[in-house]
Amino acid sequence: MSEMNLVQAIQSGLRNAMREDQDVVLIGEDIGKLGGVFRVTQGLQEEFGADRVLDTPLSETGILGVAIGMALHGLRPVSEIQFADFIYPGFDQLVNEAAKYRYRTASELHVPMVVRTPYGGGIRGGQYHSQSPESLFIHTAGLKVVCPSNPHDAKGLLIQSILDDDPVVFFEPKRVYRALKMEVPDEAYTVPLSEAKIVRPGEHVTCVAWGAMLFEALSAADEVRKQGVDVEVIDLRTLWPLDIDTVVNSVKKTGRFVVVHEAPRTCGFGGELVTLVVERAFLHLEAPPVRVTGFDTPFPLTHEREYLPLAHRIAPALLQTARY
């Protein structure tokens, strides 16, 4: 057991997976000698060699296309896209190829690949280094979408994603990369996909979040507790397939629902979560569900704190919902 931040935990997970399975290979821009833009893969090429940690040209289409070919021929590639904002040139490869092979071949062929990519704001990256495109991939049948919030979950979820026989898009909240440390086992372990986690039990309002916004939700919950509102906070961890039962059971208990995410409001995953809750727990609701999200604008640089749904925006929504 060691104290690790998110970067170290993900690196540890990659190292464990590569040591246990020779078919696990890494592919991406500058991930070898440089160790990646955030140094997540630092030292892995030295340990496993350039034939298993492959530096690529600057081509997301190429990275993902090559990874699909690798996966179809027996390897388990883990691709790194430097920022989630850069994933769009390879979007067709993911949604029209990787996501559809199992369906096209009646499960004869599988694409066991993971696409790692840092997402979200909080580091003053501006509009090309701060986007949260998770809903685009959740919308695509055949892809699994994972988003850890802390080092322990990140390592276990990553190893489980590598073991999975379907393509997984693994979003990493870069704002959290070095923001906290926690005890993480040095050996390999897994955290099941599709299991949400209640990280703060409560009685009055259910609040769902993921990635960096989980900590903003927890901070807001601590703030409104001073005013007598007890918030149950749920970390989704796997966005799709969704653990809707944990969310619905919580809403049936509290009667109120707030969802928080960084992505723009319109067609964000929060809207789907609200719909699922209303469909399954309508008669238990005592207030309209509320979304606290990014705005329907490009991600701003100078107004980053106004754009992000930080605790100072979440707390009023929790109070409003509790007092409805």
**Which residues are annotated as catalytic?**
129
Q: How many Cα atoms occupy the beta-carbon half-sphere of 263 within 13 Å? A: 21
Q: How many Cα atoms occupy the beta-carbon half-sphere of 104 within 13 Å? A: 10
| CB neighbour list of residue 196: distance below 8 Å, 6 or more residues apart | 208, 234, 235, 236, 237, 238, 242, 243, 246, 247
Separation CA 322–CA 324 (nearest Å) = 6
Peptide bond into 185 cis (omega under 30): no
Q: How far is CA 251 from CA 238, 242, 258, 259, in A?
A: 19, 15, 10, 12
Separation CA 28–CA 54 (nearest Å) = 7
β 24-28/76-80 pair status = parallel
Separation CA 196–CA 248 (nearest Å) = 11
Which phi-psi region, left, alpha or beta, contains residue 87 (left: φ > 0; alpha: ψ -120 to 50)?
alpha
How are the residues of the chain apportioned to helix, strand and coil, as percentages rounded to the nearest 5?
40, 20, 40
Q: For residue 234, give the nearest of 226, 248, 116 by alpha carbon.
A: 248
Most distant CA pair in the chain: distance in Å? 60
207, β-bridge pairs: 233, 258
254 contacts 206 by C-beta, under 8 angstroms: yes
208 contacts 273 by C-beta, under 8 angstroms: yes
52 contacts 28 by C-beta, under 8 angstroms: no
